Each structure stands twice: as C-alpha cells, then as structure tokens.
Amino acid sequence: MKRGTGVRIIGGRMRGRRLAVPDVPGLRPTPDRVRETLFNWLAPHIAGMRVLDLFAGSGALGLEAASRGAGPVTLVEQDRVAQATLRESLQRLELADVRLMTSEALSFLAADTASYELILLDPPFASPLLAPALAAIARHGRLSEGGFCYVEMPREAALPALPEGWVVHRSGQAGEVGYHLLHVPKRNLPRNI
C-alpha cells in the first residue's frame, strides 16, 4: 500500500472515516466530488437499496452507499492485495451488512442469483470490461426493474451501447472522469378493468 494514501467516506453514518487504498495497478478511487454528486442523485432512493459494487477496489463506492443507508452491499474484487485491504476496512468499520466476494466480475455475474437495485461499475480505465459487464448484467437479470447502474469511465470515452430498455438518467464530468447514472424504468403494467 502506498504510504499516506487513502480516501474518506464523505457522507452518512461513517462520514470522515478513511479507507486504505492498496497499491494495485489500475486502481483509482472515485474522486470525492464525483461521489458527492452521485450520492446526491441517489439520495431519494438509497435507503435500503441492495447494492453491488462489481469492481470494488478500495471499496469507496460500495462503502459510501453503506454509510448512507444502503444494504445489503456486496463488494466483488479479484485482486488479492485489494481483497486483503478491503477485509481490513470491513473489520475496522464493523459492517455486518457488507459482504466481500473474491471473484472475477463477469464470473460473479454469471454465478450469482441475486438482483440489485444499484450496481456500481468502475473498472480500471484500461480494462475492456465495461461493455461486457453491462451486457452480462442485462443477460443475467442482475439489475432490478426500477434500478440504477452507475458507470465511471475516461472522460473522452463513449458510453457503450446500453441494454434494451435502459436509459441515461444523469451524466457528468470531472477532471479525467466521465460518469453516468443509468436507469431501468419500471414498466407500466396494464390495469385490470
């Protein structure tokens, strides 16, 4: 781990607590300003949301969600160094409603049976996993109807093709980061007359 590096939780019951950031290639926690904007967008919905942080890294996104009342929260991470750092953070913060899964992201989506109301996608910028992850989420039914999917990517990159029925709810840019909150609107079911 890099000395003196860390990221702080910026809202909720764990506000101000710091998370260690392991020295792992490609890992760059979501900037405070971007997290603040995202969770302001989600504020009316976050309480009790089932959350999946698919490329957890430092856990900044998933643990921010937990701090703000989401739960249960599932963190998925395949890197062993990042896993160890996440385990330490979870023990220190005493988070009973957060589980850490050690798996590759696409394998997890194929094997998991749960659906989530919020899925957080922040793969390493050099990774080609964003488009396949979006497709796998839709194919395996991991995002609940009415749910949200957060996507973080390089600012200059184009958003991959969205699964059928998904819409861009909000978008923003900060520094080198482009971020998008996608939504799967609830279908209006015909009423019985």
Average pLDDT, stretch 93-105?
92
Helix (H, G, I), strand (E, B) or coil at 105: helix
Instruction: Give the per-residue pLDDT at 31.
Output: 86
pTM: 0.92
Q: Give the range among 25-29, 41-45, 145-149, 179-183 with minimum mean pLDDT.
A: 25-29
Alpha helices in 112-191 (DSSP H): 130-139
124-159 tens-digit pLDDT = 888 899 999 999 999 999 999 999 999 999 999 999
Q: Which CATH architecture has domain 31-183?
A: 3-Layer(aba) Sandwich (3.40)
- Token pair for 173: 């840019």
Structure tokens at 16: 């101000």
- The domain segmentation of the chain, as residue ranges, is 31-183
Taking the CA atoms of residue 89, residue 51, residue 27 and residue 37 in that order, the dihedral angle to the nearest 10 degrees is -100
pLDDT in tens, 73-96: 999 999 999 999 999 999 999 888
Query: Has residue 175 got a pLDDT over 50?
Result: yes
**How many secondary structure helices (H) and strands (E) does the chain include?**
5, 9
